[in-house]
Structure 1
């Protein structure tokens, strides 16, 4: 009977409106589906360290794995305490290191001989150093599922915030050490694979590319000219993420206001959960802020053009893949198009003045 310890830095669930949590659940469920085809029982112990709202939302996770599920809610205060307590660990990683979690992991390792220890998200692997002292690497495989290369994300931020340069250097050293000790590294795109091999000198044979699974509703979208609202734009994103909020605001300030000067009929649909007060204040006749939508098919069928105006972040963008799969032409920044294969339907440009021309040309197309 294979035994797996699955440690995740966010709640694996389909019920929290962010892409990463859905990817995490998909990866978790693969362990069962792969072995069930061969009639092999699999034991999976799951440790989740996440924000309280994620854990509360993850009723699907509790229902399926409740008897072997260990959840630990994070608050701002215990994140700060962890950062101060573990000063040698980069901030992104130290926030996930909790003493109670470490105690649970040590207890599980004493009680079980695991075949696989799987870290979902890079910062979940902050416990790898602890685990190394309690396992035999000859019998236990270490897998890290990398959603974003944290070093890359902070490197971009440091361009505008030079003070982050010290943290960038710490992240490079820390991540390289983590990834070097894993047997397998799962990434979402060829681009991330290339970063691991070129920057961190990770052997390519250790890396497995696992493109993200798209939302089920995408395959039910039926676009036709009768449904499409001319001069309508869709920004599809979890609006409680800082980089998505920033993207929406910058797009409106630097592009959308200029589009309205050309033609007051342009509309922007900002579709996604938990929009901030800043985003809600932008709502008008031309800017529709929906908040959480259980079934967003109508917006994918209505919008003429998809936009991904991201200026921060790292890793493949599920929002971009989903709009392309639905058949929308998509305009994206280079960050918004990361990891996405070139196609005739994606227009990559980092100059919002150019976006005005691209959008007006697409809006006039028949």
Structure 2
């Protein structure tokens, strides 16, 4: 008989974002060994769980009410809780969690993403070991934001993480990079193991020798995220006009959902700009491109789009924040400003060909695609 686990995830399993993909793959890979119950949170449309039905015993969807969420954020601030920890919180979900933990002899209760870590304090009496999957060190996230309010939120994040981790010290922690692992240890005294994100089967099955490489750059992401939207605006306001002015023969492809109407309406008629939106398999666009344009000016943790692009053999133009936590250095091209970006785009489009991409992909996969760093394997290792 399979042992049971409970997975509490800030995001539903799915294909639309990196967080959804990781959650989906974790479930699919752990289902052979465990019976999985799940609590997940969603703000928007209900995700399609049909393909995962055979992998999940019970799935409890918590659709977040924005008014109620605002209420808990305000209450949380009264108790010095950063909103990132309280936005998904509710007494009703606490009671559900306690009930499920009491009625089931879970081997592990897994908290997937920092946004649900607050619930770890409300499990009640249980013999289950807790597992914390840390994709971002939240204090680092707020340390990069400007303004007095963000300074206060940064202090709250440090305070909250110290309390959460100190009250759960005898449990298990997984960090997305060696850099984050070191931060967790130096700031909070937490020892963690490094995990690698799952690479989708569509990436692993790519045959670059059969794919036509276009004179194209790709911008890729969930465009409803502020840090991604900042990248998109930077490109179209400061980089793309210089490309046009210099008569550079280059196609631009924008992949991912949530793009703003203003960007869409402004560039939809431009014959050199393709606005694709959300697609089930964005990796074909990455594989065909000369580079991924992804300078980021905020955020924390490893950027999954960089991992995916390099695994497709496509170099990435970005900032230090774009590349943090990734020790592999080939194919990661640092840009300083818009003028430098245009120069680097020109350089990279001249040197990137099929052989370049095949070589980059092989080197990156030999570095990153190691089964022993996958979450399900690391969790298996906890069993001794």
Once residues 344 and 282 of structure 1 are traced to their aligned partners in structure 2, the CA distance between those partners, rounded to angstroms, is 35
1:319 CA drift (Å): 0.8
Once residues 196 and 306 of structure 1 are traced to their aligned partners in structure 2, the CA distance between those partners, rounded to angstroms, is 30
Report whether the alignment pairs 1:56 with 2:47: yes
Gaps of 5+ in 1: 36-41
Which of 179, 192, 197 aligns to 1:212? It is 197
8 Å CA contact retained: 1:221, 1:300: no
Report whether the alignment pairs 1:78 with 2:68: yes
Report whether the alignment pairs 1:112 with 2:97: no
1:198-237 to structure 2, matched below 5 A, reads 198-202=186-190, 204=191, 207-223=192-208, 227-230=212-215, 232-237=216-221
1:1-366 to structure 2, matched below 5 A, reads 2-11=3-12, 13-14=13-14, 16-33=15-32, 35=33, 42-53=34-45, 55-62=46-53, 64-65=55-56, 67-87=57-77, 88=79, 89-131=81-123, 133-135=124-126, 139-157=127-145, 160-180=146-166, 181-182=168-169, 183-202=171-190, 204=191, 207-223=192-208, 227-230=212-215, 232-283=216-267, 284-365=270-351
8 Å CA contact retained: 1:83, 1:94: yes
Compute the TM-score of the two structures, normalised by the length of structure 2: 0.83
Q: How many residues align?
A: 345
What's the RMSD between the two structures over aligned residues? 2.2
Deviations 1:62-92 (A, max 9, x none): 5642x52211101321211211233322101
Once residues 178 and 95 of structure 1 are traced to their aligned partners in structure 2, the CA distance between those partners, rounded to angstroms, is 16
Deviations 1:161-196 (A, max 9, x none): 232111110111111222231411112211211211
8 Å CA contact retained: 1:52, 1:75: no
1:297 CA drift (Å): 4.5
Displaced runs of 4 or more, over 6 A: none
* More displaced 10-residue stretch of structure 1: 92-101 or 302-311: 302-311
